[in-house]
Structure 1
Amino acid sequence: MLLCRGCSGHLYAVCTTERAGGNAASQWEVDHEVPALCPLSGLLPLTGTAAAVHDLPGADEVLWPPD
């Protein structure tokens, strides 16, 4: 479960993986499950390419650390 550091609301994460030339690239989108008043709204949706959701640029600012 992903939680927002700003409002403790639940976040969803969508990942698509493309394979090209033997390399896999995972594209992520993370945002609130339900629209919320959140001090971090300007940082969401969090998008980018990373091996795992917590490896996204800016993830440390938005996501609670994994359990």
Structure 2
Amino acid sequence: MSVLDARWRKSSHSSTNGSCVEVRRTAGAVEVRDTKDRSGPVLSFDQYSWHRFIDAVRAGNFDD
């Protein structure tokens, strides 16, 4: 994904029942929304916070 890619993307790991989120990058943030409620609220994260979150996910910090 490029540094600026305003298209919403869904993970290839998403389930078929719509229980997932979509992500897009803007000039100053990474935005996240619920796939089932695309007109609903959007969470916005700065690049640093987003990368820290992704690193924590990859490290398994949120696994049961």
Give the number of the structure whose residues are more often helix, by fraction: 2
Q: Scaled by the length of structure 1, what TM-score is found?
A: 0.30
Give the number of the structure whose residues are more often strand, by fraction: 1
Q: Scaled by the length of structure 2, what TM-score is found?
A: 0.30
